[in-house]
Every structure is written in structure tokens, then in C-alpha cells.
Structure 1
Amino acid sequence: MYAFVPAALFLALFGVSVRADRRRFRNAVYLGLTFIFASIGLLTLVPDLPHGLGGIIVAMVFLVPALGTVALGVFLIGNGLTMVRKEGRRPANLLSFMAGVGIFALISFVLTLGNQGSQRWDAVVGGVVFLAGYVSFLFLCFLAYAYLYGRIKVRGDVDYVVMLGSGLIGGDRVPPLLASRLRKGMEIHDAQIARGGRVPLLLTSGGKGADEKVAEARAMADWLIAQGVPQDHVRLEDRSRTTQENLGFSREIMLAGDPGYRCVVVTNNFHAFRAAMTARKAGVNGQVLGSPTAKYFWPSATIREFVAVFWEHKIVNLGICGAIVALTATLAVNAG
């Protein structure tokens, strides 16, 4: 049972870290390491298990991920084609398609060059697989923990419901993606009132873009009021241009209104975990909840969010990737 000690250690670290703050990316990494070491622990039990059960464990650890990778590649390519058909051929809409193609390109690379009988090529293939494995590990950690984080519920009273802005249609109309956030904010607002708690203020956050006629916060507030929200329940933060500014400027307003405030921030579900990380850095006292997003839009948006999170930790991630490349180059040269 000693083989499960590392998994237990990382599970304990995960629990302590989540209890301290749910909004840290390291929580996702601890969770991923827990699963990896638990899988290794299961493999050490295989020789002592009945043949059928041992085979099931080996299949779970190796075969299921392999088949899952192929299935994921097919799904991403199909989703990419759907994105292009529904949203156009902008680079951001091609992310899932390119990721799916990348998966099959990597498989082809390994199968083609891994059978050359050359130590140099073996070193190169090993390095590429290790590099892809590292990025894939972080992505799966992000995906799993973002899903768990998205299960957070509002508990107790909140003073503010902050709704993050996005681009407007025609410069002054709320698009469906933003309307989803506003409806979620209204649900929280109404639920708080229904349970007899304090009446939270709805704080719309978003400045005026160069191609917009009004500030996003103004358009959002008008949408809420048109839906029946009392005007005195709405506040505006209309200076921000980025998520970081959304949260920073909103924090200033909330602190001015109540230094001991507690809030909930609303964005779309694919953006919730990264927004939560930004909220922590901005010193916002509250968790982030996600509103529904069209299913076909979610994969590309999630990949985009992961790329942003990866880059936010670029010193560590690029350092590790650089070390893998350097080690691969050294092994390839020495294999000469």
C-alpha cells in the first residue's frame, strides 16, 4: 500500500489548498498528480490480482486514455467544422479543429519516426511525446478542475452580483452570450430575495469599446431594467476594458459601498475558472459562477482559456518546456 502514499499526499495537498482558496491553478495540478500517482499505485497491484481484474486495471490506465485520445481528436475536428459553419473562419474559431489535427499529426509523427531504428530519432520522438504529455497533463488538470469549480453554489447572503461584460451587437445591443450572464445574475438576485436574505445589488461591469455606441455596463443595465429589475438594484462600472479591470474597478465600487462586502461574479461557464484566478489576484472577495454557453462553442472557448492560463504562468511553463527541449537536443546529439 506504500505505492499509494504519493497519491494520498497530493490529495491532502489538494484538500488543504482548496480549503485555503478555491481559485488557485495549483489546485488543478494537485488533483492531476493525485490521479497519476493513484494510477501508478493501481499498476503495482496488478501482479497480485486475479488475471481478469488485473487486465481491467491495465486497460483503464493505458488503453482507455489511448482510445480516448483518438476519440477526442475526431470530436475536436468535428467541432471545429461546426464552429466554422456557425461562427465563421476567424482564427479563434479554428482552435478546436487545429487541436484535433494536432493530435493526429502527433500520432502519425510517433508511428512514423518511432520505427526508424535510430537512437537519435528515438530521442527526438521521446522529447516530442514528453513535451506534448506535459502540455496535455496541464490541459486535463485545467479541464477537470474547471468542471469541479463550476459546481460551486451560492451559499449565504451576498451584497453584490458582478456581471462581466463582453462585446455588444451593433454597438448598443446585448448579444446572446452576454444575455446568458445577465439571466444568471438575475437568478441569483431573485433567489437571494426569495430566501429572505439581503437584496444584492447587480453590478454591471464593462466600458465602451472603440466600435461601441454605449458602455457595455450601460447596455447591460438597460437590459436588466427592461426585464423588470428595479433600477435602484442596479449599479454600473463603465471604465473597464479587460477582465482584470472589470474586477479591479468593481472591487473599488464594492469596497466604497461596504468594506466588508461579499460578492458573486458571473461570467460564462468556460471563462469561470480563469476569471476566478483573476478575481483572486485582484483581491475580490467572492467566487465566480458560470452561465450556460452553446455546446458547440464550449470546446474552442475552453482551449482559448487554457492557452491564456498557460501563458499567465509562462515563466514556469516555458522553463519546463525549454528544459525538455534542451534535454532532447542533448540526447539526440550524444546518440549521434
Structure 2
Amino acid sequence: MWFAFALAAVFLLFFGFGVRRDRRRFGNAVHLGLAVTFLGIGLIAGIDDAPPGVAETVMLVVLLGLGLGPVVLAGLLTANGVKMVRKEGRSPANLLSLLAGLGMFGVMILAVAAAATGSWALNILVVTTLFLLGYVSFLFVCFVGYAFLYGRMRVRRDADYVVVLGSGLIGGRRVPPLLASRLDRGREVYEKLAAHERRDGVAPVLITSGGQGPDEELPESHAMADYLVERGFPAEAVVREDRSRTTEENMLFSRELMERERPGASCVIVTNNFHAFRASLMARRAGMDGQVVGSPTAAYFWPSATIREFVAVFLQYKVVNLGICLTLILLGVLAWASR
């Protein structure tokens, strides 16, 4: 028990040092997840010392959570997936929560079949799958938990720029609601920065970042700037970055603009809240001195969007993650072959 608490303290220290060094690191999420995991193990290991009735209640809650939790989660993901398809269409990204829910039900059915038949091969397949899901699920919970914390960090007051990331246009020229929420949030951040007294007396600048897609009549950044100016935002405070086609290019080309005008400039980057943490990882790789903040998103959009963001981060560290997954699969194959 004490060993688990010691490990929890060590990983909590790693987490604290990591956040102090740079908040935009996925390692922070993993260290926090490990700290919480070992803390939980320590608490469960010491449950025998709890007052009468407490241990039984805790174990009952844990068993119910392990038994019913996956079923409830799979049902919620499947229902959300159906709603997502109805509202947003059948693109691969919109199918993620539905596929995740159906996949969970598939694993449950496979586990029942393995238990009913007593098949060695099926049991090995189920155990290997559960280990894989356990590893991926741990990283997913780390990602979601730290993304939640990152999104609630106080917005810096000393930034030189506000960078709003594009997300596509409706009909080739109109700003959609998703992008409008980013622009409204960007304006809010800009006004707070402008109201904050700066030592150099230089006003902040807002950059709209987005190039022209093949089905768009004008660059996204121009439509974004027009949206702001039409609603009373000062035109002289807007700079258009109109070359980027991806989030990575949003970061790189916006950084070029900032470095050209104000070398060493800092910024606040605005995107939707489900995208904020991954965007912060990209900003760090691009060498931007920038904090990322999120704008509101419809609740039904969250599950598929969050899964998509996690998959992108998971593949960003594909050498480690796929290496561990392949190792687990290999162990399962060796266990099956050893019979």
C-alpha cells in the first residue's frame, strides 16, 4: 500500500515539474494519470482498515462500475453516434462514436462467447483485446482529463497576438456556426488583452488564419475577417493569414507573420474546446509561444470530436504506442502457440 502511495507522489511531482516547464506536453497527462492510478490502488489496498461497512460499499460500487459501466458507455456512444450521423452526415469522422460503441458491444459479445464455449483461442483473443483496450483506454482517460484541466487554465494577459484558426466555410464563402464560435471567443480574448495595461503601449493584433480550399470562393481568413469587421471589430486590428490548409500550417504561417512584425511575440490561439489541447501540442512543435483556448461546441459533437483528437495524438507518438500494442499482440500469439 505504501509503495503505491510513494509511486503516486513521484508521478505527481513529475506532473508538477512538467506543467511548470511547459503545459503543452502530453507527458503531463500521462504523469497525472499514473499518479491518480497508483493513488487509487493504494486506497483500495488499504480498504481493509476502513470502518465496518465502508469496504463492502466501496467494493460493491467498484464491481457495479466494472460490470455496468462498459455497457452504459457503449450504449451512450452508440446513441450519440446515431445522433451525430443524423445531424452532421456520414463522414468517417462523424462515425467515430458509433463505431466505438458498436466495437465495445462486439468485445462484450466475444467475451460471453469465450466464456460459454471455453475455447482456448477465443479466451486468448479476449484477454489480448482487453489488454489492448486497457492500454488505449488509459491513454484516452489521461488525454480527456488533462485536456479538461488545460481548458480551464487562466488566459494570459500579456500576449501580443490572438490567432483564430479556420475550420471551413459554408457555400464557399459563409462562416459556419462552429467557426463563428471561434471568432466570437477570439474577439472576447482580444478585448481583454486590449483592456489590460501593457508596458510597451502596443495594442494586440488579431490574426485570422485559413487558406482557400478547392470548394471555397475566397480564403477562410478573409471570410473570418469580414465576419468580425461587419460586427464592429476594428479592421486595422486584423491581419489575414491566407496560405494555410492544415492546423500545422495555421501555426507555422501565423508564426511567420508574428515574427516578421514582432520578433519573439507571444499569442493566444483560439479554436474549439475539443481541439484546444491537441492544438497546444502543435503550437509547441511549431515553436510558438502560445496558449490555446477553446470556444463552446454543441454537446452532441463532443464524443466523436474527442475520439478524433485522441486518435491524432495517439498516432503522433506512433512509434511508442504502436510498439506497445504490437508487443501485446505478440504476447497473445505466443500464449496461443504455447498450448
TM-score of Structure 1 vs Structure 2, range by shorter chain? over 0.9
| Structure 2 counterpart SS, 1:162 | strand
* Residue number in structure 2 paired with 1:134: 135
| Structure 2 counterpart SS, 1:86 | helix
Equivalent residue letter for 1:14: F
1:244 maps to which of 248, 252, 262: 248
For residues 33 and 57 of structure 1, what CA distance do their matches in structure 2 show?
A: 21
Equivalent residue letter for 1:286: G
Tell me the CA shift for residue 60 of structure 1. 5.0
Equivalent residue letter for 1:9: V
Alignment of structure 1 residues 82-93 onto 2, 5 Å: 82-93=83-94
2:220 maps to which of 197, 216, 223: 216
Identical columns (%): 55
For residues 14 and 61 of structure 2, what CA distance do their matches in structure 1 show?
A: 25
Tell me the CA shift for residue 121 of structure 1. 3.6
* Residue number in structure 2 paired with 1:72: 73
| Structure 2 counterpart SS, 1:177 | helix
Structure 2 vs 1, CA of residues 66 and 279 (structure 1 numbering), >3 Å: closer, same or farther? farther
* Residue number in structure 1 paired with 2:42: 41
| Structure 2 counterpart SS, 1:171 | coil
For residues 14 and 255 of structure 2, what CA distance do their matches in structure 1 show?
A: 30
* Residue number in structure 1 paired with 2:103: 102
For residues 202 and 59 of structure 1, what CA distance do their matches in structure 2 show?
A: 54
For residues 267 and 238 of structure 1, what CA distance do their matches in structure 2 show?
A: 17
Q: Which runs of 5+ in 2 are unaligned?
A: none
* Residue number in structure 2 paired with 1:56: 57
1:227 matched to 2:228? no
Q: Give TM-score, length-normalised by structure 1.
A: 0.95
| Structure 1 counterpart SS, 2:214 | coil
Equivalent residue letter for 1:155: R
For residues 286 and 264 of structure 2, what CA distance do their matches in structure 1 show?
A: 16
| Structure 2 counterpart SS, 1:155 | coil
For residues 20 and 148 of structure 1, what CA distance do their matches in structure 2 show?
A: 16
| Structure 2 counterpart SS, 1:266 | strand
Q: Is the 8 A contact 2:156 2:268 kept in 1?
A: no
Q: Which runs of 5+ in 1 are unaligned?
A: none
Structure 2 vs 1, CA of residues 260 and 90 (structure 1 numbering), >3 Å: closer, same or farther? closer
Q: Is the 8 A contact 2:32 2:142 kept in 1?
A: yes
Alignment of structure 1 residues 186-225 onto 2, 5 Å: 186-197=187-198, 199-225=203-229
* Residue number in structure 2 paired with 1:284: 288
Q: Give TM-score, length-normalised by structure 2.
A: 0.95
Moved more, 112-121 or 87-96: 112-121
Count residues in correspondence: 335
Moved more, 65-74 or 242-251: 65-74
Moved more, 53-62 or 76-85: 53-62
For residues 18 and 59 of structure 1, what CA distance do their matches in structure 2 show?
A: 36
* Residue number in structure 1 paired with 2:28: 27
1:327 matched to 2:334? no
Q: Is the 8 A contact 1:162 1:266 kept in 2?
A: yes
* Residue number in structure 2 paired with 1:318: 322
Which 4+ stretches in 1 moved above 6 angstroms? none
Equivalent residue letter for 1:123: I
Tell me the CA shift for residue 105 of structure 1. 1.2
Equivalent residue letter for 2:152: R
Tell me the CA shift for residue 166 of structure 1. 1.2
Equivalent residue letter for 1:185: G
